[in-house]
Structure 1
Amino acid sequence: METAQPRQQEIHALLIEDDDVDRERLVRMLRRCAQPIRVQEAPSKSDALSELHGKKVLFSFVFLDFQLADGDGRDLLPDIWENIGPDCVVVAVTGNGSDTGAAEAIKLGIHDYLSKLDLTSDRVAQTIEEGLKWRQMREDIRRTEDQLRHRSLHDPLTDLHNRHVFLDRLNHTCMQFRRDSQPFAVLMIDLDRFKEVNDQFGHAAGDRVLIDVAGRLRGNVREVDTVARLGGDEFAILLEDIHTAETALTLGRKLVSLLERPYAGDQGVMRIGASVGVALCPLHGNDPSLLLRRADNAMYRAKRGIEKVLLHDHQDAGNDNRPDSILLLGEIEQALEERQFTWFWQPKVRLRDRALLGFEALARWPHPVHGMVPPDRFIGALEQSPLLPRFTAVSIDTVLAQIATVAGLIGDATVSINISARMLGHPTFVEDLLSAVRRHGIAPRTIMLELTETALLGNPVQAARVVDQLHMAGLALAVDDFGAGFTSFSTLREFRVQEIKIDKSYILTLGDSRFDRSLVRSLVVFCDSLDIALLAEGVETEDCRRILLDLGCTGGQGFGLCRPLPFPQVPDWIRDHSSGVRP
């Protein structure tokens, strides 16, 4: 017994052509295609407008003759885009067989161009097939963008809002309070004995507990309230329209009671507790950072005491203005004056054979007391301080000087320098950068600037102006940590980036996450279509390298390929690497 083949979905096409012979010929060719096609004929411009505005059928394809008896067919394009949408495949069909006609069609945003002089069934079938692939790619990209947008706003484990969303909503609520005096509360929640769960039952069991905690929190607040996982076993809740401290404290006690209930696990029942700190606006201030600190301090006092839900009071006030960041900035300023900072180079390699693609220069701070300080310990303070332009200038000057010493060794490889989003708004950033490039005698093509998505999307007009200047000077541009924030494929296309670096949070879970593998596969297709290099960050294992190769990703960076190298070791590493040695 033969298995019935699934029926292909019918394609709806609108054919706008005033010549009866040409129209009938194209209809015959369309009906010979492998896919079932229903053709709606429009022999005039006015007929086409009736079809487009009637919206009885959503057309997947429009075949458009430019020269119509009652007007120019190109005038219909705005109606096509508006009434059918950008996913419609528009194909120009004209008697003009010149390259000029094809170039004009593409410039107008038309997908393909057919000349009546050499029209064949095979050529029409190819147009349909390529158009369907294009529509599928757009659908995949849109679905991936939606998934990335959701992921950028939510914690990947618990699906609660993440820290970024919580801080954004807290800022917004504080601004709204200044307009309408609507009071609210901030709850900081930290789990007790959670480390014991990880130690005794393993991290997989700990993850299940965190997911269960998220469900208990989410299920016991109102829809207007915001529940977020800030990281680790720390959660926060923003309670809207809270007029009394007792209301917030009562909810806090209820949540603690819920979180103390047992958690079922494969190896037995698990029990944890929770400590909650509460700060109210306006009772404890109306500044977002102050409210967070006061709720956080109250929570830590609760962890040390018997009562597990505490309101901020004078006992916490001494911690409101801890001088850590001020002291840190003073040390950073001294470090800049004494040239304490150093830059390590981490290779970026071709995954297939580990051939060198380039390097990323990474800042490190050999602190005279605390030893080697990684960037995540000092970059955050720098980003918000007046020292950032000075640090950026030192970074650029140092790395360019290093490039000059190995220019004869690295060939076509590039060296990436990380640039803060704030520097795009600095009035002399581009001028200072290009001056340093000339001073060190570096070929601009050797330099790649790494910017995050946030840097490009925060002020796109300003970013576009700066990026255009950098492109004109011959410098390359990479988008770092792709997927860690709000993601827009269209933005990447507009900024003409040369490289996309997939955030390591997606790479580390490739073996377990179908979504992350789907993302990489979609990015491969997207980057190939625009000739953008795709590189995976955080390649830690051989299995990860193989998975990336299977998905079509060709470039990688990570400890599994090569650790960051102190710059004095770079020349020897390049010589050994090029001679076949793989350290």
Structure 2
Amino acid sequence: MPGTPRTVTKLIEVLSSWLPSLRTRFVLLVAGLFVALSVVMIMVASYLDLKDEEQRVVSDARAIGATVSRLAVPHLTNHHYLILEQELESIAASGVVELAQVLDPARAVTIDSDPATSYFDDLETLPLVQMAFDTGIEQTHQSRKGVEIALPVRDMKDDQVLGVAYVSVTRTSVDGILFAIWGRNIVITLVLLVFCVPVTFHFAENFVRPIKELTQTAHTVSAGNFDAPFPVERTDEIGVLARAYRDMVATIRNNMARIHELAYVDPVTRLPNRESFRQHFNGNMTAPDGKPNRMSVLFVDLDRFKRINDSYGHDHGDALLKEVAARLRGLLNTVCHPLETAIGSGSTADAVGHGPAGLSPLVARLGGDEFAIVMPEGKSATDIRTLAEDLVQCVEQPLEISGLTMAVGASIGVSTYPDDGEDYTAILKNADIAMYAAKRTGGNRACFYNEIESDTRARERIRLEAELKTALLRDEIRIVFQPKIDCASMKVVGAEVLARWDHPERGMLAPGCFIDVAEESGLIAKLGDRVMELACLQGRAWLDRGRSMPIAVNVSIRQLEKPGFTARVLEILNFTGFPAELLQFEVTETVAMADPEGVSQTTKPLLEAGITFAIDDFGTGYSSLAHLQRLPFNTFKIDRSFISRLAADHHSRSIVQTIIAMAKSLNYEVVAEGVETEEQHVFLKEHGCTTAQGFLFARPMPADRFESWSRGFLQPLPSAADRGNTGRTGSHFAA
């Protein structure tokens, strides 16, 4: 507490540790206040009683003095000194009066209550007596020992002063008075304390009880039970606190439900997402007896979906995905619970949620146009094959989307746990391989992983994987550069690096021939490191020749996920001497949005080193502006599918304009991919696109050709008539 001495603060801390109970603290606080008030009361009462005692002694002395004065009148008048002396001695015998005297000034006689003296004795006149006689008024003197009063003795008839009466009254000692007063008040305080402590305990119990109830409710909520009741019916402060706590818990519950939905539910189809599917699979891998549960995973990929998505837009694509998801879920429900479906008992979600053998079948959307289904042991291989064929037939039925009739197919790959893999990753990868095998044979069919081992193309894929490993060891990977052109100045402002495989038998292979194999086999990290190293070495060589060329390199999700990626990048930059500020990483929008937090954490040290980042294929994913602001990107690369339809599709033009406008508002650069016509270039330039790349300017080329080409690039673009004479678009700049 501010202003509190450290010693007092320490004492409070010690007492708080000793007295954890709120009720005990409350009782002790009340008792302490009571004791403190009692001490103050005793002190005040003692002071007042002491004053009263002093006033009483003075009053007694004055009363005795008045009595002595009245008694002395007749005796002084008649000079009956002996009788007066006897009366004074009797007054002093009471023990209250220490000394009583009467002065007869006319005869200079002093009569007192002391038996040892006589009125014949020549006694000295007391100063107080003399003062009373001289002034004719009462004189009082107080001391610690007693009270002295001298009163003139007057003749009532003629008001003549006959003499002076003197009384000395002994006062009880202050210590004795205080002891008596304190003793009395302490007894009263103890009686009141004995009465008040039980009352205080009772009151404290009633006071603390609602707080204890609220605390128990809080513990119940913290244990996960958000339906615990709160004492909201109270009208006091506890009720206000309970209502505030209830509202807070309701908000937390809603937020947790929302977080759970974002983490485990696909926002488009409302199906479980990839993470939910993974947890479901991993949670059902082992039976209670420790043996593995047999499960089949069906990997479903839609055929011709991209064509529909590109032609009609993402809204129609999302609507199609929703319809396909409903069909898959409905079919799975029918297969697993035909009786319940026939009589209409329970919802689809409820029916699918309970499978045979205690395991639950589940359909999920993994991303894009990919779905996955896990089926428990209760289904035989024949049942799974029948289900896969039914799924193909279910999906290929025409769909009505916004008044349009659309048709897609489904290529399905099936793998079985534990026969086809030891964990979730292996099972899903093998189901994916089986799905690609189905696509290679025309699609719209199902293929089992255990049946493609003898397939020629499967063996080819395995052989290609082995050859790719050898290619990395033999340094058969090459890179080519596709230039980036400033739309306004028409200067070469950078280049995108693309990988090529110089195969000893097949010649130069494009990435489409081996990237999938690299991804599935885990070789993509080594391949990406090699491409990055070659790109930085060439960039450094150009820099040494006086040419500063920004270079963009594509990065896959597997590279970002691999531990040590950041350290490896910085190591390559340090080894090659290529400046980090000239290096840009291109990450696809789908990858960036799949795990924004992970991407942000991975890229943060690279961003601090000076590396820039671009979102590749922007517009094809589901970007969130909130996520974009937290991610380290500073460049949008508009997907080539939008650029290719600029001339014929109004929606594509609107999308491109919107992306450019959004990039400007976020202070991003914009790169348009796939520019092949002058009309596309003019449109992009007029609407503020920063940079373009495509066959209009040049095809990807090796470093030496890129260098010579870029030196002679700044020439006027050919007119439409000239391009017509050449017989191909952009041939003036094509490599």
| Range of TM-score over shorter length | 0.5 to 0.7
Q: How is 1:323-362 mapped onto 2 (pairs within 5 angstroms)?
A: 324=460, 326-352=462-488, 354-362=490-498
CA distance, structure 2, for counterparts of residue 297 and residue 389 of structure 1: 24
Q: How is 1:298-377 mapped onto 2 (pairs within 5 angstroms)?
A: 322=458, 324=460, 326-352=462-488, 354-377=490-513
Q: Secondary structure of the residue that 2:712 maps to in structure 1? A: helix
Q: Provide, for residues 519-539 of structure 1, a one-character-per-residue CA deviation record: whole Å limited to 9, x for no partner.
A: 433322222123211112222
CA distance, structure 1, for counterparts of residue 488 and residue 699 of structure 2: 18
Q: Cα distance, 1:284 vs. partner?
A: 8.1
Q: Cα distance, 1:425 vs. partner?
A: 5.4
Q: 1:325 to 1:299 in 2, by over 3 A?
A: closer
Q: 1:372 to 1:426 in 2, by over 3 A?
A: same
- Aligned to 2:656, which of 515, 520, 525? 520
Q: 1:366 to 1:184 in 2, by over 3 A?
A: same
**Does 1:418 find its partner at 2:554?**
yes
Q: Which residue of 1 aligns with 2:701?
A: 565
Q: Which residue of 1 aligns with 2:30?
A: none
Is the contact between residue 540 and residue 559 of structure 1 (CA under 8 Å) also seen in structure 2?
A: yes
Q: How is 1:206-221 mapped onto 2 (pairs within 5 angstroms)?
A: 219=327, 221=331
AA in 2 matched with 1:355: K
- Aligned to 1:177, which of 273, 284, 288? 284
**Higher normalized strand content (fraction of residues):** 1
**Does 1:378 find its partner at 2:514?**
yes
Q: Which residue of 2 aligns with 1:395?
A: 531
CA distance, structure 2, for counterparts of residue 239 and residue 430 of structure 1: 36
Q: Provide, for residues 145-182 of structure 1, a one-character-per-residue CA deviation record: whole Å limited to 9, x for no partner.
A: xxxx9xxx79xxxx9899xx986675455235337899
AA in 2 matched with 1:567: A
Q: Which moved more, 1:443-452 or 1:387-396?
A: 387-396
Is the contact between residue 421 and residue 454 of structure 1 (CA under 8 Å) also seen in structure 2?
A: no
AA in 1 matched with 2:684: L
Q: Provide, for residues 499-522 of structure 1, a one-character-per-residue CA deviation record: whole Å limited to 9, x for no partner.
A: 221233443444565554444333
State the structure with bigger RCO (CA 8 A, min sep 6), 1 or 2.
Answer: 1
CA distance, structure 2, for counterparts of residue 427 and residue 521 of structure 1: 38
- Unmatched tracts of structure 1, length 5 or more: 1-81, 83-148, 265-269
CA distance, structure 1, for counterparts of residue 568 and residue 507 of structure 2: 32
Q: 1:395 to 1:525 in 2, by over 3 A?
A: same
Q: Secondary structure of the residue that 1:449 maps to in structure 2? A: strand
Q: Provide, for residues 290-340 of structure 1, a one-character-per-residue CA deviation record: whole Å limited to 9, x for no partner.
A: 478579869989999xxx998969866756995555533432232223221
Is the contact between residue 290 and residue 320 of structure 1 (CA under 8 Å) also seen in structure 2?
A: no
Is the contact between residue 553 and residue 586 of structure 2 (CA under 8 Å) also seen in structure 1?
A: yes
- Aligned to 1:544, which of 670, 680, 683? 680
**Does 1:238 find its partner at 2:384?**
no
Q: Which residue of 1 aligns with 2:586?
A: 450
CA distance, structure 1, for counterparts of residue 293 and residue 484 of structure 2: 52
**Does 1:488 find its partner at 2:595?**
no
Is the contact between residue 174 and residue 287 of structure 1 (CA under 8 Å) also seen in structure 2?
A: no
Q: Secondary structure of the residue that 1:548 maps to in structure 2? A: helix
Q: Cα distance, 1:565 vs. partner?
A: 1.0
How many residues align structurally? 410
CA distance, structure 1, for counterparts of residue 373 and residue 475 of structure 2: 44
Q: How is 1:229-308 mapped onto 2 (pairs within 5 angstroms)?
A: 238=373, 243-245=378-380, 290=427
Q: 1:403 to 1:274 in 2, by over 3 A?
A: closer
Q: Secondary structure of the residue that 2:482 maps to in structure 1? A: strand
Is the contact between residue 520 and residue 553 of structure 1 (CA under 8 Å) also seen in structure 2?
A: no
Q: Which residue of 2 aligns with 1:553?
A: 689
AA in 1 matched with 2:466: G
Is the contact between residue 161 and residue 226 of structure 1 (CA under 8 Å) also seen in structure 2?
A: no
AA in 1 matched with 2:495: F
Q: 1:173 to 1:283 in 2, by over 3 A?
A: farther
Q: Cα distance, 1:576 vs. partner?
A: 0.5
Is the contact between residue 357 and residue 413 of structure 1 (CA under 8 Å) also seen in structure 2?
A: yes
Q: Provide, for residues 179-232 of structure 1, a one-character-per-residue CA deviation record: whole Å limited to 9, x for no partner.
A: 78998765678999x9xxx9xxxx999xx9xx999968955635557598999x
CA distance, structure 1, for counterparts of residue 559 and residue 551 of structure 2: 19
Q: Cα distance, 1:549 vs. partner?
A: 3.9
AA in 2 matched with 1:507: I
Q: Provide, for residues 261-314 of structure 1, a one-character-per-residue CA deviation record: whole Å limited to 9, x for no partner.
A: 8999xxxxx99999988777789889666478579869989999xxx9989698
Q: How is 1:110-259 mapped onto 2 (pairs within 5 angstroms)?
A: 171-178=278-285, 219=327, 221=331, 224=349, 226=363, 238=373, 243-245=378-380
Is the contact between residue 277 and residue 302 of structure 1 (CA under 8 Å) also seen in structure 2?
A: no
Q: Secondary structure of the residue that 1:348 maps to in structure 2? A: strand
Q: 1:336 to 1:190 in 2, by over 3 A?
A: closer
Is the contact between residue 451 and residue 480 of structure 1 (CA under 8 Å) also seen in structure 2?
A: yes
**Higher normalized helix content (fraction of residues):** 2
CA distance, structure 1, for counterparts of residue 449 and residue 566 of structure 2: 49
AA in 1 matched with 2:689: C
Q: Provide, for residues 335-376 of structure 1, a one-character-per-residue CA deviation record: whole Å limited to 9, x for no partner.
A: 223221111000111234533221011111111112222223
Q: Cα distance, 1:546 vs. partner?
A: 4.0
Q: 1:533 to 1:303 in 2, by over 3 A?
A: closer
CA distance, structure 2, for counterparts of residue 430 and residue 284 of structure 1: 34
Q: Which residue of 2 aligns with 1:433?
A: 569
Q: Cα distance, 1:388 vs. partner?
A: 4.6
Q: 1:410 to 1:499 in 2, by over 3 A?
A: farther
AA in 2 matched with 1:175: N
Larger radius of gyration: 2
Q: 1:493 to 1:575 in 2, by over 3 A?
A: same
Percent identity reads 25
Is the contact between residue 392 and residue 446 of structure 2 (CA under 8 Å) also seen in structure 1?
A: no
Q: Provide, for residues 19-44 of structure 1, a one-character-per-residue CA deviation record: whole Å limited to 9, x for no partner.
A: xxxxxxxxxxxxxxxxxxxxxxxxxx
Is the contact between residue 476 and residue 498 of structure 1 (CA under 8 Å) also seen in structure 2?
A: yes
Q: 1:310 to 1:400 in 2, by over 3 A?
A: closer
Q: How is 1:43-82 mapped onto 2 (pairs within 5 angstroms)?
A: none
Q: Which residue of 2 aligns with 1:529?
A: 665
Q: Secondary structure of the residue that 2:713 maps to in structure 1? A: helix
Q: CA RMSD for the aligned pairs?
A: 5.5
Q: How is 1:455-470 mapped onto 2 (pairs within 5 angstroms)?
A: 456=592, 463-470=599-606
Q: 1:396 to 1:184 in 2, by over 3 A?
A: closer
- Unmatched tracts of structure 2, length 5 or more: 1-247, 249-261, 334-347, 350-361, 401-405, 718-731
CA distance, structure 1, for counterparts of residue 461 and residue 384 of structure 2: 31
TM-score, reference length from structure 2: 0.44
Q: 1:553 to 1:286 in 2, by over 3 A?
A: same
**Does 1:475 find its partner at 2:611?**
yes
Is the contact between residue 298 and residue 316 of structure 1 (CA under 8 Å) also seen in structure 2?
A: no
Q: Secondary structure of the residue that 2:284 maps to in structure 1? A: helix
TM-score, reference length from structure 1: 0.53
CA distance, structure 1, for counterparts of residue 541 and residue 435 of structure 2: 54
CA distance, structure 1, for counterparts of residue 285 and residue 596 of structure 2: 29
